[in-house]
Amino acid sequence: MAIPMFPAEKRILTIPPRSRERIRTIFGRYSGFDSVPRTPEADAWIARTEEQALRFLSVEAICLLEPVTETSPAGVRTASGIFFPSPRMGEVLDGACGMAVMALRLRGEEALSGRGDYADQMLYDLWGNAVLESAASDLRVSLKREFRDRGFFVTPTWSPGQNGIALANQIPLFRLLHPEEIGITLGPDHLMEPLKSVTQFFGCGWEVMTGLAAPCDFCDSRNSCVSAYFESLYDKEEPPECSYFK
Ligand code: SF4
């Protein structure tokens, strides 16, 4: 069934690092600095690199809403004929009439590459991961809000390579979304270039869907992973002025 209120539409947008508290939370988790005593010198170092990183880094994203025509134990087929041969996708998108597909990449790293010493560069790398992950959260929160405002139900967010969805599903995702339009390419190993890129998708439907499982539900590391249930951890803080889909 097509989605009458959301015709297939593609958008390219820039997401600045606005959700500072969320970025700090993700940085703290990845760096481990949240769990150790910190000296004033360390605090000053972190603050200095944060100021530089958030001054130069941003995220570019491409997103698409695509009607879904078939979900089955074999996988998911979309209105443009793209087939994702993934039983897990068929399971977690069961009942969906559409899916939102997104690809995001970090921008601005080159402006930081000559700044500071090796230790600074390590922190810039962590800030980059945090900015990218926070932007992915901003985007899915924004899109899900748009869908819910129009009466849709939405599924948790997934990415190819996560817990039962083979990384090879990057191939149909790229055929559908064409992240090359913002400079993201797919290698023969299904890894993206630049490395600081992410893809993600969620399903939407007119009724509550049966497959409301999240990636972490299937993961043996969920009791020890610092990012377990990242969507519920990071998506709590709604981004300001976040109607990216308007
Ligand atoms: S528990 Fe951690 S590693 Fe496992 S799916 Fe969740 S975020 Fe990924």
Quick one: pLDDT band at residue 6, thresholds 50, 70, 90?
Answer: low
d(CA 26, CA 34) in angstroms, rounded, equals: 10
The verdict on residue 244 lying in a domain is: no
The verdict on residue 3 lying in a domain is: no
User: Using alpha carbons only, what angle is made at residue 153 by residues 147 and 156, rounded to the nearest 5 degrees?
Assistant: 95
226 lines ligand 1 (CB under 6 A): no
Stretch (H or E) spanning 229: none
How far does residue 213's CA lie from ligand 1's centre (Å)?
A: 13
What is the DSSP-derived secondary structure letter of residue 118? Answer: H
Residue 244 has pLDDT above 70, yes or no: no
Selection from 9, 7, 23, 8 nearest residue 137 by Cα: 23
The verdict on residue 4 lying in a domain is: no
Rg (alpha carbons) of the chain, rounded to whole number: 18
The verdict on residue 2 lying in a domain is: no
Selection from 191, 205, 184 nearest residue 12 by Cα: 184
* Average pLDDT of span 198-213: 81
Ligand 1 nearest-atom number relative to CA 226: 2
Selection from 146, 135, 157 nearest residue 231 by Cα: 157
> Residue 162 sits in which domain range?
11-234
Query: What pLDDT, on the 0 to 100 scale, is given for residue 29?
Result: 85
CA 192, 33, 230, 242 dihedral sign is: negative
d(CA 89, CA 214) in angstroms, rounded, equals: 11
Q: What is the pLDDT of residues 60-111, one digit of tens each?
A: 999 999 999 999 999 999 999 999 999 999 998 988 999 999 999 999 999 9
What is the distance in angstroms between the CA of the first residue and the CA of the last residue of the chain? 23
How far does residue 243's CA lie from ligand 1's centre (Å)?
A: 28
The verdict on residue 5 lying in a domain is: no
3-state DSSP call for residue 64? Answer: strand
We report the CATH number of the domain holding residue 47 as: 3.40.109.40
The verdict on residue 1 lying in a domain is: no
Q: Which two tokens stand for residue 121?
A: 């560069």
How far does residue 162's CA lie from ligand 1's centre (Å)?
A: 8
- Residue 81, classified by CB atoms within 10 Å of its CB into exposed (0-12), middle (13-18) or buried (19+), is exposed
The verdict on residue 181 lying in a domain is: yes
Q: What is the pLDDT of residues 176-205, one digit of tens each?
A: 999 999 999 999 999 999 999 999 999 988
**Ligand 1, pocket-test mutation among 158, 229, 230, most atoms within 8 A of CB:** 230
How far does residue 87's CA lie from ligand 1's centre (Å)?
A: 19
Query: What pLDDT, on the 0 to 100 scale, is given for residue 2?
Result: 45
Query: What pLDDT, on the 0 to 100 scale, is given for residue 230?
Result: 76
Query: What pLDDT, on the 0 to 100 scale, is given for residue 240?
Result: 39
The verdict on residue 143 lying in a domain is: yes
Nearest CA to ligand 1 atom 5: 216
Cis peptide before 156 (omega within 30 of 0): no
222 lines ligand 1 (CB under 6 A): yes
Q: What is the pLDDT of residues 16-51, one digit of tens each?
A: 998 898 999 899 888 888 777 888 998 999 999 999
Give how many domains the chain has, as a whole number: 1
232 lines ligand 1 (CB under 6 A): no
**Ligand 1, pocket-test mutation among 30, 162, 221, 224, most atoms within 8 A of CB:** 221
Residue bearing the bigger pLDDT, 200 or 227: 200
How far does residue 208's CA lie from ligand 1's centre (Å)?
A: 24
Q: Specify whether the CB–CB gap between 182 and 12 falls below 8 A.
A: yes
